[in-house]
């Protein structure tokens, strides 16, 4: 009897996978279906990569940190006893990786972009006249100038959209402390963005 | 200026152009099954161990021998356990190499001289263990030579065994 | 409400989150139920801090097997986490900027638990940065446990390493020093260390078994 692999309909498979909850996917992985971990990677890597990139200011370092974090999460998935909060668990692991990386390097020395801050004549139009890539570079530089804990709080809150409860689980800090960090980070970014252009 | 901050936040949300999925899945697929409670193979007992014990020689040592039952892997070694417990009805070894599970590694005293023996193939590396006498009395192996407080505040010490690989690199 | 607070967070993850737990770990069914939340939290902290978790799992299993009351069991696991953190700081200091295999942290924690002074653990790490540290750490811990001066013991092991002794052969150095001390006859620890130093690199290897068939093991 000939046995052939029949590729599943890609669209159907993707729809089924998207409808699985984190709890269901974790159960599959722990049940022996290691390939199901790919669902979690696809689901969370955009946010984790963006978070790590904003923390480290370097796309390659961010990719390394996130890859290491996801491998570690897979290895210890059985010890995540509350997959209902898998997202904050993954951010926590990635945040720790980034903090370790930053502790070994001096963040302020990391070049963020090859694009120099442009000098423009009319401040009122200066921001809008910049190319998008120049704007991204300016913003990233301003973010990098923040102390790591404020940078992390700001990114988690306003870029990654975590609740303060989730942020507390990720960082281990108290909610009032996190709110203060976000507030101070906003103030500092407003000032920095005004000064850069 | 907060308009500029609003714009900045939208820019920061730009999704990354890279993916680590292939890299992570490749690493996951290469992972060996983790060694957890490897089956402990009890082998034959060497009668001269009783003499060694009588001579006061530390009887926990490591044997790199090719005469073991079945070939030893590069990351395995043999450990011998010996204890003098006259009057005991049962003696077992419970430790990190069997996830502190009871009933997996029993010593034997076939000639009823109070000297209990067992040998086992264990993963190379450090292990902690204790003897359990008659199913209830936890005893530090006095011949282990290495000890560590068990950290539970009772003053009990685990014996420490360092298994050396049978096959040296 | 400021304009900042009106930001549309378009990349919020949309998946509904459940609240069940899989319960497929080694601890399931073995650790007292009342201790599980605290132990889980400690293990989760280790995961998040990139610390090895197996020592903590083993400590929980050990305490359960020994019938330790839940509060002391949790304290034992917590103590293990603190030892791992201390070990990580030490490894960071000894090997700055280098990737830290989990085995390094676990080996250092185990040696510290045996009473090895942190400064000696650092010296052993720095002695052989590219090698598995466990043999050197345990050799040093053996010597300290047998009341040799810690710095002198470390000096001997550094000398042994410099003369080409690696891995488990460093354990043989410690065994040889202890055996020299056991000979008695007024031999001091300093004498014993000096005698072994003079032997280097030819310290005796461990005893081998003579099987009933008369063949020696390798």
Show me where the domains of chain C are located: 32-113, 116-205
- Contact criterion met (CB < 8 Å) for C47 and A81: no
- How is chain B split into domains, by residue range? 41-163
CA distance B93 to B103: 9
Using CB atoms, pick whichever of B8, B20, B21 lies closest to residue A189: B8
Least Cα separation, residue A85 to chain C (angstroms): 7
Q: So what's the pLDDT on residue B73?
A: 64
Report the run of H or E that residue C122 belongs to, with start and end: helix C118-127
Q: Is A111 a residue whose pLDDT tops 70?
A: no
In chain B, what residues touch C141 (CB-CB under 8 Å)?
146
Select B41-163's CATH number: 2.60.40.10, 3.10.310.30, 3.30.1360.120, 2.102.10.10: 2.60.40.10
Tell me: pLDDT of A45 over 70.
yes
Lowest mean pLDDT among B70-84, B131-145, C9-23, C38-52: C9-23
By the CB < 8 Å criterion, does C33 face chain A?
no
For residues A123-150, average pLDDT: 75
| A-C C-beta contacts closer than 8 Å | 87
* CATH number, domain A10-109, options 3.90.1150.10, 3.10.20.30, 3.30.565.10, 1.10.1740.10: 1.10.1740.10
- pTM, full prediction: 0.59
pLDDT of A77-92, one tens digit each?
A: 876 757 778 888 899 8
pLDDT of residue B108: 93
Taking 70 as the threshold, does the pLDDT of residue C82 lie above it? yes
Local confidence band at A4 (pLDDT 50, 70, 90 cut-offs): very low
C-beta separation of B129 from B157 below 8 A: no
For residue C137, the model assigns a pLDDT of: 97
> How many other C-beta atoms lie within 10 A of the C-beta of residue B114?
13
Average pLDDT estimate for C42-51: 89
Lowest mean per-residue pLDDT among A65-74, B140-149, B157-166, C96-105: C96-105
Question: How far apart (Å, rounded) are the C-alpha atoms in residues B84 and B44?
Answer: 18
Give the pLDDT band (50/70/90) at residue A145: confident
Split at pLDDT 50, 70, 90, the class of B155 is confident
Distance in angstroms between the alpha carbons of the first and the last residue of chain A: 72
Distance to chain C for B17, nearest Cα, Å: 15
Mean pLDDT of C185-207: 86
Q: Which residue has the higher pLDDT, A166 or A115?
A: A166
Residues in B closer than 8 angstroms to C213, CB to CB, are 67
Q: What is the mean pLDDT of residues A113-130?
A: 48
Nearest-CA residue of chain B relative to A49?
A: B16
**Most trustworthy range by pLDDT among A129-133, B5-9, B143-147:** B143-147
Domain ranges for chain A, please list them: 10-109, 111-197
The correct CATH number of A111-197 out of 3.40.50.12170, 3.40.50.300, 3.60.150.10, 1.10.10.10 is: 1.10.10.10
Q: Using the beta-carbon criterion (under 8 Å), do A54 and B19 form an inter-chain contact?
A: no
SS (H, E, C) chain A: CCCCCCCCCHHHHHHHHHHCCHHHHHHHHHCCCHHHHHHHHHHHHHHHHHHHHHHHCCHHHHHHHHHHHHHHHHHCHHHCCCHHHHHHHHHHHHHHHHHHHHHHCCHHHCCCCCCCCCCCCCHHHHHHHCCHHHHHHHHHHHHHCCCHHHHHHHHHHHHCCCCHHHHHHHHCCCHHHHHHHHHHHHHHHHHHHHHHC
Residue in the structure block whose two tokens are 């791992």: C84
Q: Is A81 on the interface with C (CB under 8 A)?
A: yes
Residue A115, chain B, CB below 8 Å: the answer is no
Predicted pLDDT at B1: 60
């Amino acid at each position: 009897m000939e046995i052939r692999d029949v590729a599943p309909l890609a669209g159907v498979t993707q729809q089924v996978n998207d409808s699985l909850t984190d709890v269901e996917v974790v159960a599959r992985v722990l049940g022996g279906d290691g390939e199901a971990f790919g669902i979690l990677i696809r689901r969370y890597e955009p946010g984790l990569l963006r978070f790590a990139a904003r923390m480290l200011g370097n796309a390659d370092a961010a990719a390394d940190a996130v890859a290491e974090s996801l491998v570690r999460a897979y290895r210890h998935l059985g010890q995540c006893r509350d997959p209902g909060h898998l997202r904050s668990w993954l951010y926590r692991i990635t945040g720790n990786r980034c903090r370790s990386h930053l502790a070994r390097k001096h963040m302020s020395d990391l070049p963020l972009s090859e694009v120099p801050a442009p000098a423009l004549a009319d401040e009122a139009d200066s921001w809008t006249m910049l190319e998008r890539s120049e704007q991204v570079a300016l913003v990233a530089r301003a973010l990098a100038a923040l102390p790591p804990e404020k940078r992390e709080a700001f990114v988690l809150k306003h870029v990654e959209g975590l609740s303060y409860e989730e942020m507390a689980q990720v960082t281990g800090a108290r909610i009032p402390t996190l709110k203060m960090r976000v507030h101070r980070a906003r103030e500092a970014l407003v000032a920095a963005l005004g000064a850069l252009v | 200026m907060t308009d500029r901050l609003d714009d900045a936040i939208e820019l920061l949300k730009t999704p990354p152009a890279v993916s680590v999925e292939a890299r992570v899945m490749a690493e996951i697929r290469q992972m060996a099954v983790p060694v957890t409670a490897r089956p402990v193979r009890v082998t034959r007992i060497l009668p001269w161990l009783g003499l060694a014990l009588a001579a006061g020689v530390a009887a926990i040592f490591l044997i790199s021998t090719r005469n073991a039952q079945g070939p030893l892997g590069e990351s395995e070694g043999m450990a011998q356990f010996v204890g003098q417990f006259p009057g005991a009805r049962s003696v077992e070894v419970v430790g990190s190499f069997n996830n502190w599970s009871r009933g997996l590694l029993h010593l034997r005293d076939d000639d009823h001289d109070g000297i209990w023996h067992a040998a086992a193939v264990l993963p190379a590396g450090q292990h902690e263990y204790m003897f359990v006498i008659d199913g209830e009395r936890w005893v530090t192996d006095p011949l282990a030579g290495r000890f560590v407080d068990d950290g539970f505040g009772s003053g009990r010490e685990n014996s420490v065994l360092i298994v050396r690989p049978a096959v040296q690199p | 409400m400021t304009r900042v607070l009106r930001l549309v967070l378009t990349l919020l993850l949309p998946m509904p989150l459940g609240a069940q737990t899989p319960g497929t770990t080694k601890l399931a069914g073995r650790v007292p139920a009342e201790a599980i939340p605290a132990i889980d939290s400690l293990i989760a902290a280790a995961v998040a801090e990139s610390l090895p978790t197996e020592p903590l799992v083993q400590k929980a299993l050990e305490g359960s097997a020994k019938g330790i009351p839940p509060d002391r069991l949790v304290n034992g696991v917590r103590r293990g986490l603190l030892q791992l953190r201390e070990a990580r700081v030490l490894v960071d200091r000894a090997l700055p900027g280098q990737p830290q295999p989990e085995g390094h942290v676990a080996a250092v924690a185990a040696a510290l638990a045996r009473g090895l002074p942190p400064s000696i653990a650092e010296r052993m790490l720095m002695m052989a940065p590219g090698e598995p540290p466990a043999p050197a750490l345990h050799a040093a811990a053996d010597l300290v446990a047998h009341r040799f001066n810690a710095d002198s013991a470390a000096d001997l092991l550094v000398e042994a390493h410099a003369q080409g002794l690696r891995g488990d052969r460093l354990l043989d150095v410690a065994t040889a020093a202890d055996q020299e001390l056991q000979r008695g006859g007024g031999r001091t620890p300093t004498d014993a260390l000096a005698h072994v130093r003079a032997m280097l690199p030819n310290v005796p290897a461990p005893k081998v078994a003579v099987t009933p068939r008369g063949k020696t093991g390798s």
